[in-house]
Every structure is written in C-alpha cells, then in structure tokens.
C-alpha cells in the first residue's frame, strides 16, 4: 500500500471514529469560486471509472446521468444481479485506489470464525449480499473465503465513496455551520407519513437537512432476487438510501436519533457477534420486505450495528401502516406504531415519550399542528414539509421528497432550485 493511500485510510478512519460528521476539518466559510469549481468537476473521475468498469463487464450495470443542467444531484439506475453490481463496484474501487484496499479487505486467519458466523447470518437474512461481496472480491482476484466481511460491512464502502465523491472537499468549501447554544434541533431531518383511509392515499414527506452541500443521488434498482426500489441516496450509491420505497409500497426513511444523546452512542468497532450496519439494513428491508410487519420481523432477527451514529427509522406500507423503529441503549429494537392518521419522525427519541418529543422539537410541533388542523390532511404534505424546511442556520434542507405510495411516484425538490421545481420519478424509470 502506498504511503499516500495508507495515510488517507488512517486519516479518514480517525475522523470516522471521532464522530466528526465524516470530516476532520473545522467549519469554514463558504468559498464561492472553490464551490463552483468543485460542483463542475467532482464526478468526472467517477464517470471515467464507471465507463471502464462497464466496458470490462460488457454491459451497463450502472447508469449515471444528470437530472437537469447545473444540478448537483445525479440519477443512478442499476439493473443487474448482485454479483455484477459487486464486480462493478470492485472495479471502480481498484481503478481509483489500485490494490490498496485489497490489503484492508483481506481476512486474517484469526477472523475466520467470526466471518463464518457472519456468512451464516447473511445466508439466513439476505444471501444476495454474499454474491455482491463475491463480485467485489473478484475484481481483486480475492475469493470470498478470504474477504473480511467485517470490513466490507461498512468501512470498504464508506472509504470508497467518501473519497471518490470528495465529500470532505464539499464540507470545506460549502459549509454553513456556525456554533449555537442549545442541544436540540442540531441534527435536523424530518419525515412525515400521512394516510387517508377514505382514498387510501398514503404520502410520506422527507426533508434531508445537513451542514453543507454534498453529492447525492436518486437511485432506482432492479436487482435479481430483490424488489425494485427507488430512493434518495447520500454517501453511497447503493447502500445508503436515506428515503425510498419498493414496488410493494414499503417505505423506509432514516434519521439521526440524536436527542437525548445517550441514545446516540456509536460503536466504531465491529461487534463481537454478527451484525448488520443500520444503513445497510435499511437497504435490505427495501430489497426484501413487502410490509411493515415483515420489516420489523427482519430487523428484530439480527444485531444492528451503529459505527458512525445511531439512527431511527420510519417504516410505512401500502396498507397505511406506519411505525417508528428505534434501538434502546442495549441495542434492542423498539417499535412505535402510529395512533393517528399521521406519524412524524425528527431527531428526538420516541423512547422518551411523545410529550418529550413534542416539547423539545419545534419541527414536530409545527407539522403536527398543521396535520391536525381543519385544513389538514395528506393533500397538504408538500405544505407541511415546506413549513419545516431549514433555509438558514446551522443546517439547510438539501432536498425535500414526497413519496406517493399509491402511484409509486416520488417528487424530489432541491435546495439549489429553492424547492420550486418538481422532479418526478417512478420505479423502473
């Protein structure tokens, strides 16, 4: 491994372990010229690598394209089996890092037992993932029996996409974070589910709020042996779906469970027993499950791992069911089923009681009041999400999405267009 790449791996790992929002840099003022230069060039290298990977395989496994001229987000379409997708990702990683990552992903003899246990877990909950790992390994001439599944569960994909899409550079030049007093409403994301029983209309709104611009993607997948899906992704092209749904109408949205802080105790090291990283589990749920009940059963069946932060989920389905999924301080799953036509998730733990959430989150209160008013209802979802968007302060809403489960359509609006332009996407398109 070259000194340059090895130093990078150590640096990023230290950043991740320290919990500094994936960046080792102190907040800086936005540099307009540097920002524009980065926006115009950040993905050129990836496109070159992708063309090379698709060329080696002999077909387009992954299509990467603009949504509209000048927009930062990209549209990603994946049509493949899991092995082909893994092989594509492996070729991209090898093209970017050379053989540097091979040393990191190669299993040590003392890790054989835990790897056998991890493989057994995946054969039970999602065998296709092992095919994906096999494909990544093939790009390095590394058989799956020699791949460290602990490293692949999180670090391989995190390091690859973080570096390739220059997330650290985006944080340097597009930052708008400034310290402020108070602990609440710091990690801001909002997800709102609303089901109209009369029309059976089920809409889910989502604001994704962060402290800088950064690459993100609208991703559709048609993978063999999995449900077709569509969603918004950040940090990883395939794994990290922040909000989306599948062809059966099952929706998953992810948010930081940041308050109180005792619920957000990350685990930098892989656990002593087989575990699935929380974001990876969200992807597996979309690929495998058709209902809220199926999703809860699957999540409950495995140990969930939180290497960077602890997240909670809002899961909803075509029947109108919806639930918030959290994890207590012993990592046991706790589910909260909706008691109203709506269900709202921000960044405060339901485990503290709904009154605690209401008292300590202004976004929750505002959304609830609008949905309970005489003029409330699912048809007001866009108005609700606009009312709780962040357009100033430490965080800004990067995108707002409205998922219409009945029509299998998602309407995504972006900050750079002041959320005025609807971009409509459907599964398989």
Left, alpha or beta for 219 (phi > 0: left; psi -120 to 50: alpha)?
A: beta
Q: Nearest Cα to 119, choosing from 330, 107, 81?
A: 107
Distance CA 16, CA 13 (A): 5
pLDDT above 90 covers a percentage of the chain that reads 72
For 295-353, the three-class secondary structure string (H helix, E strand, C coil) is: HHHHHHCCEEECCCCCEEEEEECCCCCEEEEEECCCCCEEEEECCCCEEEECCECHHHC
pLDDT of 426: 92
pLDDT of 374: 61
CATH 3.60.60.10 positions along the chain are 189-214+250-426
165, two tokens: 């899409």
pLDDT of 167: 86
Say whether 114 sits in a helix, a strand or coil: helix
Residue 287: phi, psi to the nearest 5? -70, -30
For the stretch 18-42, pLDDT in tens is 333 433 333 344 566 776 677 666 7
Lowest mean pLDDT among 165-174, 240-249, 303-312: 165-174
Q: 75: which strand partners? A: 65, 218
pLDDT at 148 over 80: yes
pLDDT at 121 over 80: yes
Distance CA 2, CA 312 (A): 38
pLDDT of 279: 94
For helices 44-57 and 155-164, the axis angle rounded to 10 degrees is 120
For the stretch 289-339, pLDDT in tens is 999 999 999 999 999 999 999 999 999 999 999 999 999 999 999 999 999
Average pLDDT on 257-279 reads 94
User: Please, are residues 263 and 329 in contact by the beta-carbon 8 Å criterion?
Assistant: yes
Indicate the CATH number of 189-214+250-426 among 3.40.50.280, 3.60.60.10, 3.40.50.300, 3.40.50.450: 3.60.60.10
């Amino acid at each position: 491994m070259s000194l340059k790449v090895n130093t990078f791996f150590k640096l990023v790992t230290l950043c991740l372990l320290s919990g500094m929002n994936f960046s080792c840099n102190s907040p800086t003022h936005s540099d307009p010229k540097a920002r524009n230069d980065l926006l115009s060039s950040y993905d050129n290298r990836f496109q070159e690598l992708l063309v090379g990977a698709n060329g080696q395989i002999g077909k387009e496994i992954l299509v990467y394209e603009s949504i509209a001229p000048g927009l930062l987000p990209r549209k990603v379409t994946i049509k493949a089996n899991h092995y082909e997708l893994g092989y594509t990702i492996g070729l991209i990683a090898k093209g970017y890092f050379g053989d540097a990552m091979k040393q990191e992903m190669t299993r040590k003899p003392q890790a054989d037992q835990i790897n056998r246990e991890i493989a057994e877990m995946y054969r039970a909950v999602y065998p296709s993932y092992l095919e994906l790992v096999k494909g990544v390994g093939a790009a390095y001439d590394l058989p799956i029996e020699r791949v460290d599944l602990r490293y692949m569960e999180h670090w391989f994909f995190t390091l690859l996409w973080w570096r390739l899409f220059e997330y650290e550079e985006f944080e340097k030049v597009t930052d708008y974070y400034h310290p402020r007093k108070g602990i609440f409403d710091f990690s801001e994301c909002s997800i709102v589910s609303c089901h109209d029983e009369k029309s059976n209309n089920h809409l889910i709104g989502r604001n994704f709020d962060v402290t800088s611009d950064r690459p993100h993607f609208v991703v559709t997948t048609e993978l063999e042996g999995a449900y077709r899906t569509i969603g918004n992704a950040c940090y990883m092209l395939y794994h990290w779906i922040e909000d989306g749904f599948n062809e059966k109408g099952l929706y998953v949205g992810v948010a930081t469970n940041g308050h109180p802080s005792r619920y957000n105790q990350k685990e930098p090291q892989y656990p002593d027993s087989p575990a699935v990283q929380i974001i990876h589990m969200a992807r597996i749920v979309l690929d495998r499950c058709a209902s809220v009940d199926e999703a809860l059963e699957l999540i409950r069946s495995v140990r969930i791992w939180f290497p960077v932060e602890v997240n909670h989920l809002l899961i909803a389905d075509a029947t109108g069911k919806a639930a918030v999924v959290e994890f207590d301080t012993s990592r046991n799953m706790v589910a909260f089923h909706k008691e109203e036509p709506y269900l709202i998730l921000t960044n405060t733990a339901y485990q503290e009681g709904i009154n605690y959430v209401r008292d300590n989150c202004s976004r929750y209160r505002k959304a609830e009041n609008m949905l309970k008013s005489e003029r409330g209802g699912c048809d007001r979802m866009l108005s609700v999400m606009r009312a709780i968007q962040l357009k100033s302060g430490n965080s800004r809403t990067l995108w707002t999405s409205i998922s219409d489960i009945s029509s299998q359509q998602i309407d995504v609006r972006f900050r750079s267009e002041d959320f005025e332009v609807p971009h409509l996407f459907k599964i398989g398109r």
